[in-house]
């Protein structure tokens, strides 16, 4: 059925039967669907799916293997900076630790890229979230998530995970991006200045505020009450 369907869609290609009993279309699929699929292979010894180079994932893998004996290829990306995003809403505290990565061979892979596009790439390097912690994950329910204690526990948990995973082993720098002014914001700053944040605070090079300031505009949504 698969062979017949592709034969009707692509009459110019000849079908060929492989040794393992499956029917495939003889030809380069990647030349037909440009940029969508690099290659699709199937064999009895190596079960792996090869994704295109543009495929992006949490670890930026180019090959996903089902066999543990087959090495997994990783893209050549270096972490140049870490960012800790803190969102301190009225009813919750959210922390996300993000890796800012750079491909050292980016210019060699894109020799014809205009200068403006090159500048935009390095101004907006890819961000890959590594750790995310919220008050709900730690067992705080409903109105308890908005309290000072919840924000302090979330901050302590985030600092502990960063130290346990040894993400700053290469003496990398960290930028803090804070948003909104809930009770968790004060708790986060106190935890950072205390013994819980002693491992992280020496790596911080910048603190910025991303709180949105409303200026005019339409009427806001009514306040959420718990």
Percentage of the chain with pLDDT > 70?
Answer: 67
CA–CA gap between residue 98 and residue 101 (Å, rounded): 10
Of 214, 163, 222, 154, the C-alpha closest to 187 is 154
Full domain range(s) for residue 167: 78-209
Q: Is residue 55 part of a domain?
A: yes
Would you tell me how many other CB atoms lie within 10 Å of the CB of residue 65? Answer: 16
Of the three residues 65, 92, 118, the one that is the final residue of a domain is 65
pTM above 0.75, yes or no: no
Candidate from 4-8, 39-43, 119-123, 221-225 with smallest mean pLDDT: 39-43
Is the pLDDT at 47 greater than 70? The verdict is no
Residues 34 and 138 in one domain: no
Q: Is residue 170 part of a domain?
A: yes
202: domain CATH number is: 3.30.420.80
Residues 61 and 104 in one domain: no
Report pLDDT for 91.
92
Residues 121 and 170 in one domain: yes
Average pLDDT of the residues in 61-76? 43
Residues 48 and 13 in one domain: yes
Candidate from 31-45, 111-125, 153-167 with smallest mean pLDDT: 31-45
CA–CA gap between residue 171 and residue 157 (Å, rounded): 21
Pick the more confident residue, 178 or 58: 178
Average pLDDT of the residues in 173-202? 95
Residues 160 and 102 in one domain: yes
Residues 17 and 106 in one domain: no
Residues 193 and 121 in one domain: yes
Residues 110 and 153 in one domain: yes
pLDDT band (50, 70, 90) for residue 76: confident
Is the pLDDT at 50 greater than 80? The verdict is no
């Amino acid at each position: 059925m698969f062979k017949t369907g592709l034969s009707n869609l692509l009459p110019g290609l000849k079908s060929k039967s492989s040794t393992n009993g499956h029917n495939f279309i003889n030809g380069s699929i990647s030349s037909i669907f440009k940029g969508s699929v690099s290659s699709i292979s199937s064999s009895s010894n190596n079960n792996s799916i090869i994704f295109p180079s543009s495929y992006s994932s949490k670890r930026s893998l180019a090959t996903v293997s089902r066999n543990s004996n087959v090495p997994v290829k990783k893209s050549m990306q270096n972490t140049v900076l870490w960012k800790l995003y803190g969102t301190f809403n009225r009813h919750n505290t959210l922390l996300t630790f993000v890796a800012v990565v750079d491909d050292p061979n980016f210019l060699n892979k894109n020799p014809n890229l205009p200068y403006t596009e090159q500048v935009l790439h390095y101004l907006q390097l890819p961000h890959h979230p590594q750790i995310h912690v919220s008050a709900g994950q730690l067992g705080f329910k409903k109105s308890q998530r908005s309290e000072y204690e919840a924000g302090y526990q979330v901050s302590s948990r985030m600092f502990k995970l960063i130290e346990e995973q040894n993400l700053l082993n290469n003496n990398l720098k960290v930028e803090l991006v804070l948003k909104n002014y809930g009770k968790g914001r004060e708790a986060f700053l106190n935890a950072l200045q205390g013994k819980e944040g002693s491992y992280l605070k020496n790596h911080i090079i910048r603190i910025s505020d991303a709180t949105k300031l409303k200026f005019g505009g339409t009427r806001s949504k009514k306040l959420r009450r718990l």
